[in-house]
Amino acid sequence: MKREVDLVILSDLHLGTYGCRAQELLHYLYSIRPSKLVLNGDIIDIWQFKKSYFPDHHLRIIRYLLDMAYQGCEIIYITGNHDEMLRKFSTIHFGNIQLVDKLILQLGEKKVWIFHGDVFDASIQHSKWLAKLGGWGYDRLIQLNYMVNWCLERLGKEKYSLSKRIKKSVKKAVKFISDFEHTASELAIENNYDYVVCGHIHQPQIREVSNKKGSCVYLNSGDWVENLSAIEYHDGAWDLFLYEEKKASLGKYPLQEKPLRVSLESLLESIHVQA
């Protein structure tokens, strides 16, 4: 039985990279029936796109999202930095799917401001080559981490996150995350938004932020590389979904018996986007 959800927000899937946890994401998507799905940036990692690596289970996610839209789910794709080339198509509609750069939603009497968050990242705005190099290095680090955790599991030890360890130990990284959350929240309060939802920094979070001018709730949907997280809104309440904590309640992973007969190129051409 699929779980009914009013709104689901996902970000930083990074389809087309070795770090993307596509199987787990499919398991989650199969378990829910959202009325509205917001894809908050870095969905297809065009920065690191290679025709030699885009496996079937990554294509299945694209196909399943298209199926969700066909079945009535409203899907809003907000562009991020890794899929920034899609910004030239912003405001386009195809079927039940809309492409935008940012989104403002009205939930009852509350206003929600949703955007990816790369606008706050100076390295992307001024040194794009450095940001792309960092993205490549991050993907290699995730590959190394898989090998480390494979060994740890066979030794009966707990998994270990190299990137989280690095982020916590590097003062500049900790400060960047703090500054990012503070800036997004301050702007939301100044513009009278009740909620601000971002992605980009791969740090799932829901917390209230207050200053002299007021307060708002800051939310971050995290990623599907390390944290495997999503933001859900249902019956007036927000929830941070963490796959590793709740996967047992999702039921069995539904196997796909038939291989895909569609290529990535044909999918992209069908929505008038050249890879």
For 17, what's the count of Cα atoms within 13 Å in the CB-facing half-sphere? 27
pLDDT at 265: 55
As a whole number of angstroms, the distance between CA 241 and CA 9 comes to 10
For a pLDDT cut of 90, what percent of the chain falls above it? Answer: 48
Most confident region among 28-37, 144-153, 156-165, 244-253 by mean pLDDT: 28-37
Q: Average per-residue pLDDT in the chain?
A: 80
Average pLDDT for 44-57:
74
DSSP state letters, 180-202? HHHHHHHHHHHTT-SEEEE-SS-
As a whole number of angstroms, the distance between CA 227 and CA 206 comes to 14
Considering only 12-26, 125-139, 204-218, 257-271, which range has the smallest mean pLDDT? 125-139
| 268 has a pLDDT exceeding 60 | no
As a whole number of angstroms, the distance between CA 28 and CA 232 comes to 12
Phi, psi angle pair for 27, to nearest 5°: -55, -45
Domains of the chain: residue spans and CATH: 3-117+160-270 (3.60.21.10)
Query: Counting Cβ atoms within 10 Å, is residue 268 exposed (0-12), middle (13-18) or buried (19+)?
Result: middle
Most confident region among 114-128, 129-143, 164-178, 198-212 by mean pLDDT: 198-212
Question: pLDDT tens-digit profile of 100-134?
Answer: 999 999 999 999 999 998 877 644 344 443 444 44
| 181 has a pLDDT exceeding 70 | yes
The dihedral sign for the CA sequence 115, 83, 234, 25: negative
Question: pLDDT tens-digit profile of 23-48?
Answer: 999 999 999 999 999 999 999 887 66
Beta-strand pair 32-40/74-78: parallel
pLDDT at 208: 96
